Amino acid sequence: MDTQTASLDLRWLYSQGQLKLREILPTAAPFDVIQISELVDPTDFISPNSVVLSVGIAFADTPENLRAWAHRLAAAGVIAIGFGSGLTFPQVPQTLIDASHHLGLGLFEVPREIPFISITSAVRDEQTRRAGRLQQELLIEQERLNSIAISGGIDALCRYTAEFLNGAVAIVDSDGRVASSTTTDSLDAVPQTHNRILGSSKAFTENNTYGLIHRMTRYGDRHHVLSVQMSTRPTDQHRALIRHCAGLADILLQRPEAMRHREIEVKSLAISLLLGRTDDPATIHRVFADITDASGNIRPIIITGNTPQPVKKALSQVAAALYKQERALAHLKLDDSTELLFLRGSRSVENIVQLFGAATTGIRLCIGLPTQVEKIDKKLIRELTTTAKSLPLGTHAEPRDASLLWLNNPELRRILKSRSRDTYDRLLDHDHTNHTELAPTLVAFTQHGGHIGETAKELGIHRHTVRTRMTRIEEICEINLHDPLTRAELLLVIATKEVGVDKQ
C-alpha cells in the first residue's frame, strides 16, 4: 500500500520547545523534508518543498555571498532556511535576513547547543507518526467501503467514494455504457472516459481538474473502467482508495455473470429431475460444489426443537459462523420445528457442534456421516430425523449412534403411525383449532421422562400449568400419563412422526 510523506509546517517545528528555535521570518508554506547542507551551490542535492539547515561554513570569509546562496535555494524549491548561530557567525547575518525577506523564504535561528540531527530526527519521527495515522485512516475507509459494497451495491459504492474524494466517480464499460455515475458540483467523470476507455490506467490534468482512469479486470471481450475527476491533486491515500473501490466494483459487476452460470446449472438439474433422470452426478456436484469437500461428500444434519423459535435461532447462529468463514448455509425446512442442513463432509462432529454455540441448548442435533451428494435420499433423512426427535433437548447424536434405527422397521412404523392418529394427531388438531399448546407440552413431558419441573422449566411456564395441560391431554387422548409404558410409547410415536421428506 502506498503512503505519502506527511507534510509539516514551521509552526509545528517551532512548537517543539526542546529545539529552542527562534523564528525570524514567517512562512505558511508546508515542507516535506528537512536537509543539511554546507555547499556553496547545493542545487543538485536539494528536494522541492524542503527546509535547509546550515551554519554557513562556506561563507565564513564572504558573508555577502549568502545573498546568491539564498537565491539558489529558492530556485531549487526550498521554503525556509534554518541557520545555526554561534559557530561560524555569532548570529544570523543581516545579508541572509534581507535576501530571505526579498525571496519570501522562511528563516529561523538554531542555537549552537541544538545539534541539527535533533531537528531532522524530530521531523522524521513526526512524519512517521502522521503517515501511520493516515494509513490507519485509509484501512478504516477501505473497511467502510467493504460494508457499503455489500449492503448498498455499486451505486452506493460510487457515491461514498465520490464523497470521500470530494469529486466525481463513474464506472463505464468498454462499449461506453455507464454502469454507475456520481457527480459533485460541476465535476462529471463520464465525459473524460470517451477517448480513454480502451487504453490503460492513467492520470492526467484537464481544464484545471485532475482525472484518473483505472482499468478494471477484463472478462470475456468486455471490461470496465473506473473514472475519477477531482478539483485537487489526488494523494497516494486517494489513489489507494480508488484502487480498492475498483476491486470491489469488479466483484459486484462480475457477480451477476457468475450467478447466471449457477442459475443455468440449477435449471439443468431441475430439468433432469423433471424428466426422471436422477443419474446425472456431474450436474449435481457442480450445483453443490460450494458445500461439498474435496471428495464430493456432504454431511446431512437434522436439527429439531419443541418450537420453531430455537430452531430459527440455531440457523441464524450457524449462518453467522459460516459467514465469518466465507461459507454459505444450505438448509431445507421439513416442518415448523425441523430443518435439514448440509455442511462440508470434511467437518468434524466437534466442529459442527461448535458452529451452533449456545444455541444447542434449545435444539436436538443428529449429525450424519460424510455422504456422496447423489446418495442423499428420503430413507437417510428419515433415519436421521427419527434419531433427532428421540434425543433429550440440548443433546446431539453422532453418526455412530445408530441404536434407534430399528424404529424404521416398516411394520413398527405402521403400528406407531396408527397409534399417532389416536393420540398425538388429536392434540395437533386440537391445538390448531383452539390455539392451544398441548402437543409441545406432551413432547417436552415425554422427553423429560414425565418430570413436571423440567417440563415447566423448558416451556417457561408454571408447574400448575403443566399439570392442567396434562389432565387435558389425558382427556383428549384417553390415556394415563402416569403410566411409564404409555409415556415410552408416546415418545416413540413422537420420534417417528412423519415430516416433510416422508410424505407422499
The amino acid occupying position 32 is: D
Among 35-39, 42-46, 258-262, 414-418, the range scoring the smallest mean pLDDT is: 258-262
| The predicted structure's pLDDT at residue 408 | 60
Is 343's pLDDT higher than 80? yes
For the residues 353-361, what does the mean pLDDT come to? 90
- Cα separation, 353 vs 308, in Å, equals 19
The amino acid occupying position 197 is: I
According to DSSP, the residues that pair with 80 across neighbouring strands are 51, 106
Here the cell at position 6 is 506527511
According to DSSP, the residues that pair with 211 across neighbouring strands are 204, 229
Which domains occur in the chain, in start order? 10-114 (3.40.1390.20), 140-253 (3.30.450.30), 288-406 (3.30.70), 410-502 (1.10.10.2840)
CB atoms within 10 A of CB 62: 12
Q: Which residue has the higher pLDDT, 373 or 278?
A: 373
Confidence label for 196 from pLDDT (cuts 50, 70 and 90): confident
**pLDDT tens profile 306-342:** 888 999 999 989 988 887 776 777 888 888 889 998 8
Cβ atoms of 307 and 321 within 8 Å: the answer is no
**pLDDT tens profile 47-89:** 999 999 999 999 999 999 999 999 999 999 999 999 999 999 9
**pLDDT tens profile 81-113:** 999 999 999 999 999 999 999 999 999 999 999
When the pLDDT of each residue in the chain is averaged and rounded to a whole number, the result is 85
Percentage, residues of the chain above pLDDT 90: 39
Give which of 408, 425, 412 is closest to 477, Cα–Cα: 425
Is 501's pLDDT higher than 80? no
Q: State residue 416 phi and psi, 5-degree precision.
A: -65, -35
| The predicted structure's pLDDT at residue 158 | 92
Is 245's pLDDT higher than 70? yes
Three-state DSSP class for residue 494: helix
Q: State residue 446 phi and psi, 5-degree precision.
A: -70, -35
**pLDDT tens profile 246-304:** 889 888 887 655 555 555 566 666 666 566 655 566 656 666 666 777 777 888 999 99
Quote the distance between the C-alpha of residue 336 and its chain's center.
32
- Cα separation, 72 vs 53, in Å, equals 14
Is 353's pLDDT higher than 50? yes
Distances in Å between the Cα of 79 and the Cα atoms of 82, 232, 488 are 10, 21, 93
Length of the chain: 504
Among 203-217, 311-325, 387-401, the range scoring the smallest mean pLDDT is: 387-401
**pLDDT tens profile 222-234:** 788 999 999 998 8
Residues 6+ apart with CB under 8 A from 33: 5, 47, 49, 50, 51, 123
Instruction: Give, for 148, the enclosing helix (H) or strand (E).
Output: helix 116-165
| The predicted structure's pLDDT at residue 2 | 37
* Pairing outcome for strands 178-182 and 50-54: unpaired
